[in-house]
Structures are given as structure tokens and as C-alpha cells.
Structure 1
Amino acid sequence: MVVAVALMVQVPAAAYPPQVLVFVANTGSDNVTVYDTRLGEVIATVGVGDGPVGVGATPNGDLVYVTNEQSDSVSVLDTRTQIVAATIPVGDQPFGVAATGAYAYVSNFGSDSVTVIDIATQKPVAEIPVGRFPHTPIASPDGSRVYVTNNGAASVTVIDTRINKPVGTIPVGRFPAGITIGARGDRIYVANTGDDTVTVAGATSGRPNATIPVGDAPMGLSVTPRDVVYVANAGADTISVINFPNAGTTSTSPVNRRPEGAAAAPDNSFVYITNTASNTMSVIDTATAKQIALVPVGQQPEGVTVTG
């Protein structure tokens, strides 16, 4: 049975390490919801810029970057205090963001580029040309590569973070949106909104090696430490769950209306799905791949990230 709650979700406190937080970008209310995974409750709502859509945490979990699509800026949140520590101008219509230990990479949907922000100074230091309508970036576990989906080019641009330049392009499906990478860094997974599939590609080879059918209009996706991929099917109000290496064990579960974002806890306990049309976040138990609770968040939640 699914339980709707105002703030509290009963989850095992011992399942989480200290200070693992979930950050949700609420596009319609210009703020970020902060959810404490130990307590199972919302602990803060932080105002940011206009139209926040993407969120990404630094590897150490100290900072979260929030893209403000309508104000062409990025808000930097201190995760310990839940306050905005800096606001940084970037390109046109920033959408997604990913961070390494040294830089944050912001995909500018309206200017076909990626802005590179120096984490030490919180200043832009480079602008990297990529494909048409860059949507979402993801960093490799070792921070050596960043992969960016190009929504208007059916491709992924590969960026070498040592030189901050493109070094390759991976062909994927139509209108690629969300992207994630396995814990070993050997495979990337891309949600193709235009053809209802997920492309699996070798992170080093840059070659697609599988195309997996999922639900209608897949948007966000995430992968657990055990290599299980969760896909938010925005047009079907479901999630697809793909078990690797045997992708034939794909299953489907219902969530709330228009799921768009997905993020997995670092301890393989839960996956968090933002439901844009119902102003909620689904909590998915990875043991059953089922929704166990709904958490009210802000208006039109889209991007989501988990620290830790």
C-alpha cells in the first residue's frame, strides 16, 4: 500500500550513513526541497533563482549546484547549512549540472554549450561547445570524463575534464534526456524520450551496445550501486527497472503523475523519483522496486540528487 504523508516518511534510520540528503529542484515554485533520508522528513525549503530545473552534488557532498533555467544562473547550496552560498551567471537556459572534485559542468540548453565552473572560486572558467540542445551531464566516478546528452542531436558529447574539451561523440536514440553512469564507470545509460528506449554504451569505447525498450517518454534515470537502472517514464506515470547484466528482467511499477527525475541512494536502499504533475517525490524501495511513500515537495519538481 502507498502511504501519502505531509512530511514524515517512516524509513529505517539505520539504513543510511550520516547526512545523506536529497535535493529536489522545484521549477514552478523557484525553490529547492531538502529531504533528510535518516529522519525521513523534509528539513528545509531553499529559495533559488527563476525556474530551477537541474541539481548536482559534488563528490564529497558539501555543495549542490542548482540550474535556474529562466534566470541563466546557477545557485550554489551549502549542504550543511542549506543556504545559498553563491549565484553564478552561465549560458542561455541552463538545464542540467554535474560536478567533479574540481569543476561543475552546466549544460546550456539554449546556447549549445557547457559552462565550466571552478569549485574553488565559484567562477566560470570555460565554455565548451557541444551538440544541439544539451540536456543533462554526468561525471564519471573518477572525474576524468563528463558525458552530455544533446537533446536535439541524438548524441552524447564526451568531455575530457583534464583539458575541458570535447573528445568524442556517442550516437544514441531520439531526444536523449537523462543520463547516468555505472558505479564502475564502464557503462553509460541514456533515456531517449523520443523513441521510448534506453541506450547502453561503453563509457571507454564510446560505442552503443544495447537498446532497451522502456515506458512512454523516459526522462530521468539513475543506477544503484548494484547496477540496477531506474527509469522515470514521464508519459506513462511509471518507472522501468532494468537489472544488469541481464536486461531481460526489466519490470515496470506505477508512481505518481509525470515522473521526470531519478536519483539513487549511495547505500542501495532507496531510489527517489520526482513527479512533476503531482508536486511529490516517490520513495522506491530497491528490495521490491515498488513505491512505498510519497513526499510532498514544491511545485513542478524536476531535478533530484542525493548526497553521500
Structure 2
Amino acid sequence: MNLSRRVLAPVFCIALVAIGGAASATPVTADPFVTIGAGSSPQAVAVAFSGEFFVANLGSDSITAYTAGGVLETGRSMSMPAGSNPIDVKVEHGTTAVWSANVDTHSIARFVPGATVPTIFDLGAAIKPDALAITPTDVVYSANSSSDTVSQVKLVGATYQSTAVYARLPAGSAPVGIVSDPDGVIYTANSGNGTVSRITPAKTEQVAQLPTGAPFAIAIDHRGKLWVANSAADTVVQIDPAKASGSNIVSSVRLLPGSVPSRLTVDGADNVYVTSRGANSVSVIPAGASTAVTIQTMPAGSGVFGIAVSPQNVLLTTSFARGVVSSIDLATAVTLQAPVTGAQVGSRVTGTVTATGIDPITFSSTTLPAWLTLDPKTGVFTGMPPTPGSVSFTVVATSLVSKSEPFTVSFAVGGVAPTASPTPPSTVTAIPTATATAGAGGQSAGTGAHSTGVLASTGASDGSRWGIAGAIAFILGVVGACAARVHRRQHA
């Protein structure tokens, strides 16, 4: 109790630990998500079905209400009597009513958001409630470490009735954590004697004895397994309550030395989240894993304590020394880094999908075209389209704690660009005709005809040869004419 109230010097920074070997995601975090104020000492947080959340502020004797987006709802908050020191808070399953454990006024309080005063159930000066549990039928129980007892408040007809000592545990048990299973069976984490107890209307019995340490908080997963934060041993212990004590400790997950695990919760996928006030960190034990991974580290001296996960898969934690609530969005979502444009048949196409979520991230697709490949670590897809048309496939990203909805990637592939064809050479046709006139001696005329010519391998044509012959004939004619003139002059 004294540890949870300690106020340490705030330092404003936050670190996220990424795990190697796969794509690096962008975590969606806010620290602080909301600032309650100096001296408020927020100890616990509870979330309604809508995502609205309520914070128990031990230092300011109040329960403050916030929208899922972190906006303060003054009209839905509640001030407790002075000196109440509310240390835990829970929301009913069937309504929006809120319950608080007021450790220093030995009471449990209930209010409906919007009311001006709470209903107080006084348990007696000797009973100081440390933690609350609410069954699926909205019966409320408190673990009371100072008196080794469990109290009950339930609706009987139209009236709530409280039973200060519903169950009594062995002396020195000091129950500080409490949880209900789906059937309304109650389990307590007993820091005084290192045990876990089970409480039913018929009896109270020991379920497990931890070898060492001090159980400080307890949660239950959807398989019915119990998870216990063992603050003195820096471990989180998994217990199967269906088995006999002495043989029902399933696993013991070790945290870093000095972690001092304080509170824990389980999400819908059976991932277990733990706050450690000694290490100022938030860790997760993924479903089915045997090791814990630190997913958020707060500034030194933050006093990380309360924890809850919303139906919208947002993890909320309180830091009592800094007076803040921090958040991590546990959901995983895929986006396309940039649109794929200009894709052509025979040209390589490349694109990249990215994700938000908790590292490490891996990408997969069951609808990928045969010509495309997807790198599961980097999210890069590449390939050479063989045909034009529309391309569409889906990608799923899997993070440390969740899987995304399928994300559709679509783009168009164009045909091969047309290329210019060479022009074939022209065909040259020559049809020459030559006529010779007979000389004066009465010689008959001679005629000659030549067939159509074609290009030779040298590129010369028959027409060229006829041109040469014509030139020769012209020259001979000139020479003959000159000779005739000379002959006439000689005989004149």
C-alpha cells in the first residue's frame, strides 16, 4: 500500500522497445494521453464498453471520467468524501455504473455517471478494501488485506446489500488482488503468505502456493487460467485452477530484475499485459509465449501502476507519480506507402505496404498473383506483370499481439508500348526500249527489248546500265558527225 502511494520526481520522456527480425511498425502511443494533475496519484483505470474510461485518483479523492478520445467529462466524474483515497475502480457489465474501493474510509462506493453523489457502503473501520472484482452478473467483491477478508455488495431486489465479511482467509494472507471467473467464482492473490485462494458460496480454499514471492495482482484469461503478478520475485505466474494445488503452476515468466510487477490484465486474444512500478514499464506475454516483452518504458520514477484494456483494443496505464494516464493502441493496421502507378507489361513493378502496431510485424498474403512476391519482413512486393489489366490482392499484418484486417492493394497494368517498324526499301522497275535505224546500205532495222529489272545485291539497277549505254551512244554519234563534216570538207 505504501509503495503505491509513493510520489517520485517526474521526468518527461518515453521509449518503445522494438524487436528485431521483422518489419518495424509505427506504434500508436500517447504519453501522456491525459494529464490529471500533480498530487492526483492515479492508481487504477477501468474501461466501459464504449471506450469511456474512469480513473481512481487516490491523492485527489476523485473518480474522473474521460471519453475514449481522452476528453475530460466533468459531469460524469465523481468526488468522493475527503480522505477516501480511492485505490481501485471497476465498471459494471450490465450498466455504466462505476464502483470504487475507498481504502481509507473502509468503504465501497457506487455511482451512475451524471449523478452528483455516490452511494457509500461502509464495511467497518477494520476493513480496508484494496481491490475490486465484478462478476458477469454485477456482484461486487473486494479484497481486504488488512483484515484477511473478502467483502461483497450485491443487488437484492431493488436494494443493494453489503456483506462486510463474505469470506475469511487464513491469518496473514493479506489479499491484495481479486478476480472473478465467468461463473462468478472468486480468486484472490494473497501477498502475505504467497498463496492464491478460491472462494465460492460453499467454501474458501487454497488453490496454489507460490514457491517464493508475494502475489500482488491476479487476472484470468479466456481459457480459465489464472495469471498472478509476483511482485517480490519479479515474475508472472500462470496457474491452472482445475488442477490440484502443488501441481497446477503451468509457467513462471521472469521479468527484469527490480521490475516489481504491480497490476496485470488480459485482452481478448489472451495476451497478458503487466505494469511494473520498479522498472517503470509495460510488458506483454503474448498468448502462448513463455517470455515477456517490454513494449513501453516510462520516465524514471513514474510509478506505473494501474492497467486496463478497452474493447477497442487500447491499453491504458496510470502513472501515480506523474499524475497521468498513458495509452497504446494495440490494433494492427496496414497502409500502402505510395500508390502503384505506371505499371506496364514486361516492366518490373515495386511497392511497399507498412503497418502500425506493436513490433515485430510480419506481412502475408493468400491472394498474391503468381508473378508477385511479398517480403514478409519489409512489406516490399515486386514482380513483372505478364499481361495487362487490373491487379488486386490483400495483405495482412501480424504484430506481437494482434492481426490486421485484410488490406486491399489495387493497381492497373498497361500493355506493351508500340514501337516503330522499319520501312522496307522501294522496288525499282525499269522498262527500257532501244530502236536502231538501219544504215544507208539497206540493212534491216534491229530492235531490242529488256525485261523488268530488279535490285541487285550491290544496289545497282539495270536502268543504270541503260544510262551508261546511252551516254556511249551519244558520244559515238558526236564523233561520227564530226567525221562526216571533215569528210565533206576534204571532198568539196
TM-score using structure 2 length: 0.45
Deviations 1:48-72 (A, max 9, x none): 25221111111332x1110111111
Match of residue 148 from structure 1: 228
Q: Which of 311, 314, 322 is residue 236 of structure 1 equivalent to?
A: 322
- Counterpart Cα distance in 2 of 1:6 and 1:238: 14
**Higher RCO (CA < 8 A, seq sep 6+):** 1
1:52 aligns with 2:95: no
Q: Which of 273, 293, 303 is residue 189 of structure 1 equivalent to?
A: 273
1:20 aligns with 2:83: no
Match of residue 371 from structure 2: none
Q: How does 1:1-308 map to 2 (within 5 A)?
A: 10-11=75-76, 19-37=95-113, 39-48=114-123, 50-61=127-138, 63-79=139-155, 81-85=159-163, 87-91=166-170, 92-100=173-181, 101-118=183-200, 120-121=201-202, 123-130=203-210, 131-140=212-221, 142=222, 144-163=224-243, 165-173=248-256, 174-185=259-270, 187-215=271-299, 216-245=302-331, 246-247=357-358
| Structure 1 unmatched ranges of 5 or more | 249-308
Specify whether residues 33 and 17 from structure 1 end up closer, same or farther in structure 2 by C-alpha distance, changes over 3 A only.
closer
Specify whether residues 154 and 59 from structure 1 end up closer, same or farther in structure 2 by C-alpha distance, changes over 3 A only.
same
Match of residue 278 from structure 1: none
Match of residue 298 from structure 1: none
Deviations 1:2-42 (A, max 9, x none): 8x99999535xxxx9853322111111100111224x4454
Residue type at the aligned position of 1:124: T
Specify whether residues 214 and 5 from structure 1 end up closer, same or farther in structure 2 by C-alpha distance, changes over 3 A only.
closer
Partner of 2:189, secondary structure, is strand
The range that moved more, 47-56 or 194-203, is: 47-56
Deviation of residue 143 (structure 1)?
A: 5.0
- Counterpart Cα distance in 1 of 2:121 and 2:193: 27
Residue type at the aligned position of 1:29: T
- Counterpart Cα distance in 1 of 2:263 and 2:197: 18
- Counterpart Cα distance in 1 of 2:130 and 2:93: 27
- Structure whose alpha-carbon radius of gyration is higher: 2
The range that moved more, 162-171 or 108-117, is: 162-171
- Counterpart Cα distance in 1 of 2:283 and 2:231: 14
Which of the two has greater strand per residue?
1
Residue type at the aligned position of 1:200: V
- In the alignment, is the contact (CA less than 8 A) between 1:214 and 1:240 conserved in 2? no
- Counterpart Cα distance in 1 of 2:184 and 2:308: 23
| Equivalent residues, number | 239
- In the alignment, is the contact (CA less than 8 A) between 2:136 and 2:184 conserved in 1? no
| Structure 2 unmatched ranges of 5 or more | 1-34, 37-59, 64-72, 77-91, 332-356, 360-492
- In the alignment, is the contact (CA less than 8 A) between 1:46 and 1:82 conserved in 2? no
Partner of 2:141, secondary structure, is strand
Deviations 1:114-158 (A, max 9, x none): 11112x43x203341124111010111x25111010010111111
The range that moved more, 99-108 or 79-88, is: 79-88
Partner of 1:70, secondary structure, is helix
- In the alignment, is the contact (CA less than 8 A) between 2:275 and 2:304 conserved in 1? yes
- In the alignment, is the contact (CA less than 8 A) between 1:128 and 1:166 conserved in 2? yes
Specify whether residues 32 and 158 from structure 1 end up closer, same or farther in structure 2 by C-alpha distance, changes over 3 A only.
same
Runs in 1 of length 4+ with deviation above 6 angstroms?
4-8
TM-score using structure 1 length: 0.69
- Counterpart Cα distance in 2 of 1:115 and 1:42: 35
- Counterpart Cα distance in 1 of 2:262 and 2:289: 21
Deviation of residue 176 (structure 1)?
A: 0.2
Residue type at the aligned position of 1:72: D
The alignment-based identity, stated in percent, is 19
Deviations 1:192-225 (A, max 9, x none): 1001000111132232233311251111110101
Deviation of residue 45 (structure 1)?
A: 0.6
Which of the two has greater helix per residue?
2
- Counterpart Cα distance in 2 of 1:95 and 1:17: 22
- In the alignment, is the contact (CA less than 8 A) between 2:269 and 2:287 conserved in 1? no
- In the alignment, is the contact (CA less than 8 A) between 2:93 and 2:136 conserved in 1? no
Residue type at the aligned position of 1:233: S
Deviations 1:136-193 (A, max 9, x none): 10111x25111010010111111113226321111224100010111232x1110010
- In the alignment, is the contact (CA less than 8 A) between 2:281 and 2:294 conserved in 1? no
- Counterpart Cα distance in 2 of 1:111 and 1:17: 32
- In the alignment, is the contact (CA less than 8 A) between 1:137 and 1:147 conserved in 2? yes
